Structure 1
Amino acid sequence: MPSSVGSEDSDSAARLPRGDVSSAECRVCALGSRPPSTPVMPDIQLPSIDDPRATVASVLIDATGLEHQVSRLRAHNELTAAYNAGLAAHASTLHDRNRALLRRAREGFALGAATVNGLHERLENIQLENTYLEDEVERLRARAAQADSLETRYRVLEQSSLEHAYGLQDELAAAQARVSMLEVRVALLTAPPTAPATPSTASSGDRARLDRVKAELVAAQADLVSTRATLSAVNSHLSTVTAERDQASGASTGERHDLQDQLARSQHETGSARQLIAPLESDDRRVNTLLVAHAEEHQRDLAGIRDLETSWSSSEAVRMAAQADVTHA
């Protein structure tokens, strides 16, 4: 059996065979030996020296019985000694095997504890990374919402700028129509007269009317220039706003695509982290199960050794009693 213990010590410390403490491997147990019982003492009355009835024949009979009893006690003592020697060898073997199993259990426990610590550290790192990825996803979502808000503001500004430009274009068209009408009236008034000259009163009235029309024409031209300048400024502002809107839209679209890609990567990394956590948790449960099995095996070994020590103590008591009987005899 010690050789089997040595071969088992070379195995992996993380696995404990179930047949290490099988009683079928013990020769003492295989022989079916049982603790010897104390023989029944014969009913022999030793005669007293002062007993007048004692005879030589009775003394010889008693001496023969005592010799037979002594031989039986000696045989019983030898059997007890042999049985005790077998129990001692069996206890020594079991003790050595138990120490080997205990050493292997401790090594397995240390390995399991180190594995569990490593798994816990990896789990904590993965949880920290998962938390960071979730925060990053929230930040990217906030940036996406901000980009959507900016796009909405640009669209509102574009719509208002277009409406203002359309209004200015209508005013410009009205001013141009008014200028055209005034130019026609000025042309008619400045044309050479075909009829004979009229009196001075008519000439002065026409001149006043012409002056008034010229003043209106100058005012209309000034309004036209102002309107054209305003329209040019509005068109320039509209072009700037449109360019900014296009640039912002392109930037927001690109940023949205980037955010979506980052979000997809974050979700993929989160899923990968969860897939990594699953086997770690399974390994943790398997290591805990192995440690529990080692502890139960160790407890069974200790119980077997205690039973063996109890049996050896009772056998030793029987042997001491037999030796005392032989000494008294």
Structure 2
Amino acid sequence: MSNSDESPRASNAAGTPYGSYAANDSNSDGSTRELGPDDFFPNRGAVCATGFERPSIPPRPSVQVPAVGDPIPSVDALVQDDTALEHDTHVLRSRLELMTALNAGLAAHASVLHEGLDVLRDRAREGYNIGLDAVDRLSREVETRDPTLRELRDENVELRARDSCVTEWKTQYDNLCRTTADEAAAYQDAQDRAEAVSPT
């Protein structure tokens, strides 16, 4: 019966093992190593940087339990089998503890991501509401300014009409001035001719 089975190790970002639950971690007095604080991830999101433990099938037991009717082994063999089974049990328990710690780290990191998503969603909703308020405000301003714009357009049309009338009146005045000047000149010429032919 062999006690050389080893279990995977979890490492941090620098490659330093957080802890081991391998069979070789047994102390010199034969006792097995217990998980300590360093075996757990201190940061809630550290599990993403350190990786995670993939589920795997536990190793086969190093002891074959005799079936009913098989010959009973010697006392020394039973003691060895008991020691081996105790070691295998500790290895499995250590694997379970580490897997539980890793799962807790993943759950904590998922919680951090969920909180971040909640914050982003709240900010997006706030920005969306601000945008809606801005659109409503601009719509009200446009509705308020529409009558003013219509009044300005009407005034502009009226001013253009007046300008056209002024231009027409100026043209008529210029024509009248020219006609009057021509008539005055003709009258003066007629008067001069009349004075020239009249007896003195």
Q: Where does residue 89 of structure 2 map in the other structure?
A: 70
Decide whether aligned partners of structure 1 residues 131 and 159 sit closer, same or farther in structure 2, where only a CA change above 3 A counts.
same
Would you say 1:55 and 2:73 are equivalent positions? yes
Q: Where does residue 184 of structure 2 map in the other structure?
A: 165
Decide whether aligned partners of structure 1 residues 102 and 163 sit closer, same or farther in structure 2, where only a CA change above 3 A counts.
same
Q: Structure 1 regions of 5+ residues with no counterpart?
A: 1-25, 185-329
Equivalent position SS for 1:80: helix
Q: Where does residue 246 of structure 1 map in the other structure?
A: none
Q: Where does residue 111 of structure 1 map in the other structure?
A: 130
CA distance in 1, matches of 2:85, 2:142: 80
Q: Where does residue 45 of structure 2 map in the other structure?
A: 29
Decide whether aligned partners of structure 1 residues 128 and 27 sit closer, same or farther in structure 2, where only a CA change above 3 A counts.
farther
8 Å contact from structure 1 (residues 47, 59) kept in 2 = no
Q: Where does residue 60 of structure 2 map in the other structure?
A: 42
8 Å contact from structure 2 (residues 44, 105) kept in 1 = yes
Equivalent position SS for 2:59: coil
TM-superposed CA distance for 1:166, in Å, is 2.4
Q: Percent identity over the alignment? A: 34
Equivalent position SS for 1:77: helix
Q: Structure 2 regions of 5+ residues with no counterpart?
A: 1-41
TM-superposed CA distance for 1:129, in Å, is 6.2
* 1:61-95 C-alpha deviation (Å, 9 max, x unpaired): 44432221111111222222233333333433443
Match of 2:99 among 76, 80, 96: 80
8 Å contact from structure 2 (residues 58, 92) kept in 1 = no
State the structure with more CA Rg: 1
CA distance in 1, matches of 2:66, 2:170: 129
TM-superposed CA distance for 1:126, in Å, is 6.8
Would you say 1:144 and 2:163 are equivalent positions? yes
CA distance in 2, matches of 1:30, 1:82: 12
TM-superposed CA distance for 1:155, in Å, is 0.9
CA distance in 2, matches of 1:65, 1:125: 89
> What letter is aligned with 1:55?
P
* 1:107-162 C-alpha deviation (Å, 9 max, x unpaired): 23212332244346556767886786567556544533432232122111221222
> What letter is aligned with 2:44?
V
Aligned ranges 1:220-235 → 2 under 5 Å: none
RMSD: 3.7
TM-score, scaled relative to structure 1: 0.37
8 Å contact from structure 1 (residues 28, 86) kept in 2 = yes
Aligned ranges 1:1-329 → 2 under 5 Å: 27-30=43-46, 32-37=49-54, 38=56, 40-42=58-60, 44=62, 45-52=64-71, 55-56=73-74, 57-119=76-138, 122=141, 137=156, 140-177=159-196, 180-181=198-199
Q: For this pair of structures, how many residues does the alignment match?
A: 155
CA distance in 1, matches of 2:145, 2:153: 12
CA distance in 1, matches of 2:190, 2:83: 155
8 Å contact from structure 2 (residues 45, 112) kept in 1 = no
> What letter is aligned with 1:144?
D
